């Protein structure tokens, strides 16, 4: 059956869009969600995904034409796709990659403890070779350095075998045996836009990242306890995001400057909290916004996120839902990220990064207990947010999550 592809709803401030270029021609097979055409507005470059599998029958509007909302761009004859669906789990776009060099500063505190407990042979080797024991990874009991560790270290040089955040982002791919060709692929409009915005963010803001860690035992306990009841009542699962949004908002209340933005030389404080939730799609990172999130209940938050995620995947998100936002939460944990330094979404002043929940041995009341831990990161604009606020913001988020009762009594 024939399906019309229309220009999506443009936001109020945008009158029209320019059709930049068609990626598919008449007679081409198209798959559901595949990008058909780019429309450029002042704010964003919109990609228009195919609503269905099938064949592009007719293109109604040519490159370079100005279009308005609702105009018919093309017609598709729906039918089963020959090509398989693009994989749903695409690698996340820009901001959440590993912080390789951040590791030593956290690890060296633990290392210097073990570094104090050097066995006689290790002491001799360290002294003989003028080594810094803190740099030597220890494979012995409690991370102690054995003689073998030192011997290996001397042989190999300082290659940290124990660092948890590996995956050097800039690793060159191994050369293909034989062929030495290149492929030049122009960036999509969306990719270009993202690239520009990332650099703009870096240049404009004085960005740095502060970290903390959260023990999610209590959150997990609550989720488990109320899982069935919540789902029964609201028809949506109680996830982690609602807790995180709530905790973030509580912290934003305490530190309003984190919710503010800079315009020229003014700091604009917002009395509302429009929290963007970063969602990864194959086309790239989208950040739909929860408007007035401070008024939303746990169920509202969860169902909104589910709704956004579904529509983002289906290419059904309206531009209006992507703009604005006073603060953003991003979650690299779903892809396995342990720790990262997210990039701020201008004109916002901060972004909260969630990561993988990993069971770690922690000291609780003087004893070692296994706890589900998550590192959290706040990248913030130091032009208006000081270290004190950033650190305490994270502490507030941590405390709210470790003791959710605080969210209830707003302390």
Partner 1 sequence: MSDKYDVIVIGAGPAGYVAAIRAGQHGLKTACIDKWKNYDGSTAFGGTCLNAGCIPSKALLESSELYHRAREEFSVHGISTGEVSMDITTMQKRKAGIVKQLTGGITALFKANKVDGLQGSGEFLGEGKVRYVSHDGAERMLEADHVVLATGSEPIELKSVPFDEVTVVDSWRALEFDAVPPRLGVIGGGVIGLELGSVWKRLGSEVTVLEAMDDFLFMVDRQIAKDALRQFKRQGLDIKLGAKVTAAEVGAKGVTLTYEDKTGTQQLEVDKVVVAVGRRPYTDGLLGAGTGVELDERGFIRVDDECRTGVDGVWAVGDAVRGPMLAHKGSEEGVMVADLIAGEVAEVNYAVIPSIIYTAPEVAWVGKTEEQAKESGLPYKVGTFSFAANGRAKGMEQAVGMVKIIASADDDLIIGAHILGPMAGELIGEIVLGMEFSASAEDLQRTIHAHPTLSESVHEAALAVDKRAIHAINK
Binding site for partner 1 (CB under 8 A): 119-122, 124, 139-141, 144, 146-148, 151-152, 361, 368, 370
Instruction: Say which of 215, 228, 386, 403 is annotated catalytic.
Output: 386
Q: In whole angstroms, how close is the CB of 371 to partner 1 at the nearest point?
A: 12
Catalytic annotation present for 386: yes
**Quick one: 6 or 144, whose CB is closer to partner 1?**
144
**Quick one: 138 or 353, whose CB is closer to partner 1?**
138
Q: Record the tokens describing residue 326, joined without a space.
A: 């006073």
Q: In whole angstroms, how close is the CB of 104 to partner 1 at the nearest point?
A: 24
Catalytic annotation present for 132: no
**Quick one: 140 or 324, whose CB is closer to partner 1?**
140
Q: Are 336 and 353 in contact (CB under 8 A)?
A: no
Q: Are 381 and 349 in contact (CB under 8 A)?
A: yes
**Quick one: 187 or 370, whose CB is closer to partner 1?**
370
**Quick one: 140 or 164, whose CB is closer to partner 1?**
140
Q: In whole angstroms, how close is the CB of 147 to partner 1 at the nearest point?
A: 4
Instruction: Say which of 129, 196, 314, 382 is annotated catalytic.
Output: 382
**Quick one: 118 or 319, whose CB is closer to partner 1?**
118
204 by DSSP, 3-state: which?
Answer: helix
User: CA–CA separation, 16 vs 69, rounded Å?
Assistant: 7
Backbone angles phi, psi at 169, to 5 degrees: -60, -30
User: CA–CA separation, 248 vs 348, rounded Å?
Assistant: 14
357 by DSSP, 3-state: which?
Answer: strand
Q: In whole angstroms, how close is the CB of 240 to partner 1 at the nearest point?
A: 24
CA atoms 391, 393, 395, 401: torsion sign: negative
CA atoms 43, 242, 246, 96: torsion sign: negative
Q: Transcribe 19-65 into DSSP letters.
A: EEEESS-TT-EE-TT-EEEEEE-SS-EEEEE-SSSEEEEEE-S-TT-
User: CA–CA separation, 281 vs 246, rounded Å?
Assistant: 24
Q: In whole angstroms, how close is the CB of 202 to partner 1 at the nearest point?
A: 43
Q: In whole angstroms, how close is the CB of 148 to partner 1 at the nearest point?
A: 4
User: CA–CA separation, 334 vs 354, rounded Å?
Assistant: 9
Catalytic residue annotation:
382, 386
């Amino acid at each position: 059956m024939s399906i019309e592809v229309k220009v999506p709803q443009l936001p109020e401030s945008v009158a029209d869009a320019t059709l930049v270029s068609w990626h598919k021609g008449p007679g081409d097979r198209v798959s559901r969600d595949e990008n058909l055409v780019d429309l450029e507005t002042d704010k964003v470059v919109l990609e228009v995904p195919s609503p269905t599998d099938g064949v592009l029958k007719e293109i109604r509007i040519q490159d370079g034409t100005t279009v308005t909302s609702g105009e018919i761009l093309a017609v598709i004859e729906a039918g089963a796709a020959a090509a398989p669906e693009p994989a749903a789990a695409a690698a996340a776009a820009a901001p959440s990659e590993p912080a390789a060099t951040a590791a030593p500063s956290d690890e060296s505190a633990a290392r210097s403890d073990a570094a104090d407990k050097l066995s006689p042979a290790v002491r001799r080797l360290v002294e003989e070779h003028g080594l810094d024991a803190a740099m030597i990874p220890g494979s012995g009991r409690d991370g102690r350095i054995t003689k073998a560790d030192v011997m290996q270290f001397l042989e190999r040089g300082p290659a940290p075998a124990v660092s948890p955040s590996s995956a050097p982002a800039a690793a060159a791919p191994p050369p293909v045996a034989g062929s030495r060709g290149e492929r030049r692929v122009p960036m999509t409009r969306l990719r270009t836009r993202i690239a520009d915005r990332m650099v703009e963010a870096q240049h404009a803001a004085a960005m740095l990242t502060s970290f903390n860690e959260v023990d999610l035992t209590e959150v997990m306990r609550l989720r488990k306890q109320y899982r069935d009841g919540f789902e029964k009542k609201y028809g949506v699962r109680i996830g982690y995001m609602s807790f995180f949004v709530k905790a973030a908002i509580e912290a934003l209340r305490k530190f309003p400057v984190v919710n503010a933005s800079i315009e020229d030389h003014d700091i604009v404080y917002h009395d509302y909290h429009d929290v963007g939730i970063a969602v990864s799609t194959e086309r790239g990172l989208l950040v739909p916004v929860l408007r007035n999130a401070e008024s939303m209940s746990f169920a509202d938050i969860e169902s909104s996120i589910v709704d956004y995620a579904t529509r983002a995947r289906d290419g059904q998100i309206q531009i209006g839902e992507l703009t604005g936002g006073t603060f953003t939460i991003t979650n690299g944990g779903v892809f396995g990220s342990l720790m990262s330094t997210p990039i701020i979404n201008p004109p916002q002043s901060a972004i909260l990064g969630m990561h993988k929940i990993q069971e770690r041995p922690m000291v609780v009341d003087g004893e070692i207990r296994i706890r589900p831990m998550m590192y959290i990161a706040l990248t913030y604009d130091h032009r208006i947010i000081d270290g004190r606020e950033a650190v305490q913001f994270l502490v507030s988020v941590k405390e709210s999550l470790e003791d959710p009762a605080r969210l209830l009594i707003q302390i």
